[in-house]
Chains A and B, each alone.
Chain A
């Protein structure tokens, strides 16, 4: 359960894997992402719950992603995600454009073990027009013509995120970032990196237990201090703004991105 190395914990993320990752505010496993790039993972079907930023941009730029399903990819205050933008405009990346609540709902369908979830909105949009896997039906509980969109459940092969704490039984403390629990419930396997191990069991303390994800759902855990760097881990450390600015600058060109990978991904085996 507690892996000896980060690389060992990441073994379930094979080439072609359907990999779910969280939004930047919720705990992104950036050290693990760099390790995946070093390993040379290929053909990922990346699903962001419900958006991504640096993580998706790095994986796309490094050639690890075949398809991305997301509501947005952006570096937020640091601008557009340059490698995502370049890959889409060159036709190198397939994008399944979604909207945030559609991804949340589709993960919830998988979490419940039901085949689909209905969602309001979407009708008349080109988001819906380009999603042949989404269907429109008449509300069966309404006598009038009330159309509603159905979204198939999303059941990823692996969910990957970073969290503050885990115990030796494999329970993980996620606090109020509850979509991490939804991701783990929906995925076949969940891989987590954590800042540190908690001595004892999270369920022995009712305050910690309220924010815990049971080890039942967790395949592997690796301890990686500052595992979200250069992104923030909420309530623990803030984002490294200088580094993110450097990334936005370097990744603006393919050449600069390659230099970034050499400097911050390939050269730093421990990072």
Chain B
């Protein structure tokens, strides 16, 4: 079974591009995520997450230096000086407001699977592993789920392995959890009390019927679902001229493929 890398950073270098559309899908998604970040004080970005990284840097540029952005793997865009543990200690104290997670599978209750499909001991498909999800999903107040392959095999009724559950019983320490799921087709919001996703908007060129057909779980939606707003000219200018060069340090291939920015020697 061919199953590509589940990293949330997997972007779409060969994605078909609408001739009438003056922006790339990655730019639309960065804009969507930047709005979800809102007025947070500190946003952290984990491994293999170039679009969330672009979104956080876009939010920082629009906010004139806020939120603080900690970009894993960066020397320049990181406040951490106490080793890899500092990110997690910081989150455990409530000092990280927004984080991003993905999964090889994500289910309708917000459970995420970054480990395996099939039997755990002899899986049919093995993913890289849970990274920090089994902890950060619990302690970061606003976790934005991100998955660029929106299909019945990725958005499933029930995950095969729970790297981290979407919700927890009331007696479990859990200040954090999912608020939204961004895909290549749409934006869902997540209601923790109802343990369900709701379709918030469909991206330009996509339809509600297509989202229903390609989603393996049930979700709520209003009779009329809005279209995700396209990024403004000013947003595109910031992404291309200010954010893109800042991504090169950590996401060299992404910066080159999406923005045509090469590394400065």
Contact = CB atoms under 8 A, between A and B. Distances in A.
Interface of A: 23, 25-26, 49-51, 70-74, 76-77, 79-81, 84-85, 88-89, 91, 97-102, 104-105, 108, 119-128, 130, 144-148, 176-182, 234-235, 238, 241
B165 A100 contact: no
Given A99-B131, A104-B88, A182-B83, A77 B254 contact: yes
B173 A100 contact: no
Given A89-B124, A99-B130, A123-B172, 20 more contacts: A51-B131, A72-B131, A76-B7, A88-B116, A89-B126, A91-B121, A97-B129, A99-B163, A100-B84, A100-B88, A101-B89, A104-B84, A122-B135, A124-B162, A126-B115, A127-B162, A147-B172, A176-B81, A178-B83, A179-B85
B9 interface: yes
Main secondary structure of the interface of B (DSSP, over half): loop
Interface in B67-97: 72-73, 75, 80-85, 88-89, 92
Contacts, number: 159
24 contacts: A23-B84, A25-B73, A71-B132, A72-B114, A72-B130, A73-B129, A77-B254, A80-B4, A89-B125, A97-B130, A99-B130, A99-B134, A100-B132, A121-B135, A121-B139, A124-B162, A124-B172, A126-B162, A145-B171, A147-B172, A176-B83, A179-B84, A179-B85, A235-B75
Contacts of A88: 116, 123, 126
A181 B178 CA distance: 34
Contact of A99 (B72, B92, B135): B135
A23 B73 CA distance: 10
For B121, B129, B163, which residue has the most chain A Cβ atoms within 10 angstroms?
A: B129
B163 to A, nearest CB: 6
Interface residues of B, number: 56
A19 B254 CA distance: 33
Nearest to A70: B129
Listed residue (B5, B124, B126, B134) with the most chain A CB atoms within 10 angstroms of its CB: B134
